[in-house]
Each structure stands twice: as C-alpha cells, then as structure tokens.
Amino acid sequence: MTKIRDVMTRNVEPARPEEPIQSVAQRMARGDFGFMPVCEGKKVIGTITDRDLTIRALAGAMPPSTPVGEVMTREVTVAHQDDNLEDILDKMSDEQIRRLPIVDENRELIGVISIGDLSQKVKERYAGEALEDISKPSGTSTFS
C-alpha cells in the first residue's frame, strides 16, 4: 500500500507567526500556491491560506504589517509520512481539507500533501470521489 511519504512534497517553506501577512502573500504569489504551514521553529502551529488572507485580513481591513499569527488557522489537521494514501483521502474528504501538513512524531514539519498529489497516485475514481466530497459546500451559501 502506498504511503504519504511516497507522494508528499518535501521542500516546504513555512510561514512564521511573526511574519507580516504582506510578505506571506507575496511569497504565495511568487510561488503560485495558496497554502503554507505556519511553524515556530520546525513545529507546526497553524496554517495560512490565500482565503485566510482575503477573509480575515483584507476584509477585516488589517494593515499589511499584521503578523500571520493573528490571521492563521490554529486548529490544524495533520498527517504522518507512514499514513496510507487512501486513509488520508478519506480524512481529507470527511473534513473537506485540500492540503495537509505532514509532521513527524514531534509535530515538526517534514512535508505537505495536497489533493492533487494524491490524485496522481491513487486510483482516479477514488481520488475523484474524494475531490468531489472535499469540494462540496459545507454550509448554506448566499450565492445562487
């Protein structure tokens, strides 16, 4: 059975809680990604997404110098490198999560896994079903 370590992205540059949100947004723009784990040292303490920056910071009229720690998501679901891909797909589907930090036994960051990484390695049908579940709206929407 395929393990997370076989497909995860290893060279992950985390954000720091004291780093200004503008700096993180610029790194996301340069790298063309919308998710970063937030670490103190190597320990994962949160995540920051382009959505967090938009909804919490921009919509809240926070200045560009606002520390990431003020807008990051603190409750983080993580995975371990020895976890099975299908189990992680189920977890991501159940919790509607598109990306997960991969941590070691000390909760230190060693990589990231995304639904895209998983869909390349797991049976297309299974990944497609999980992606469909992950993408379902979790609540009511005001948009028609």
Q: How far apart are CA 21 and CA 7, in angstroms?
A: 29
Confidence of residue 12 (pLDDT cuts 50, 70, 90): very high
Position 108 scores a pLDDT of 95
What is the average per-residue pLDDT within 126-137?
Answer: 59
Tell me what the mean pLDDT of segment 125-135 comes to: 57
Residues 6+ apart with CB under 8 A from 17: 38, 40, 45, 46, 67, 68, 69, 72
pLDDT at residue 109 is higher than 80: yes
User: What's the rounded mean pLDDT across residues 91-101?
Assistant: 90
Cα torsion through 8, 12, 17, 23, rounded to 10? -130
CATH fold of 4-135 reads: CBS-domain (3.10.580)
Q: What is the pLDDT of residues 32-81, one digit of tens each?
A: 989 999 999 999 999 999 999 999 999 999 999 999 999 999 999 999 99
Q: What letter represents residue 94's amino acid?
A: D
Q: Hey, where are the domains in the chain? A: 4-135
Give residue 144's pLDDT band: very low, low, confident or very high (50, 70, 90).
Answer: very low
- Give the CA angle between residues 144, 47, 134 to the nearest 5°: 40
Q: Rounded to the nearest 10 degrees, how much is the dihedral formed by the CA atoms of 54, 34, 109, 107?
A: 40
pLDDT score, position 118: 72
Helix pair angle (124-135, 85-95), 10° resolution: 20
For the entire predicted model, the pTM comes to 0.80
| Neighbouring-strand partners of residue 9 | 112
Confidence of residue 87 (pLDDT cuts 50, 70, 90): confident
Q: Looking at residues 82-110, what average pLDDT do you find?
A: 90
CA dihedral for 76, 82, 87, 93, sign (positive or negative): positive
pLDDT the model gives residue 75? 92
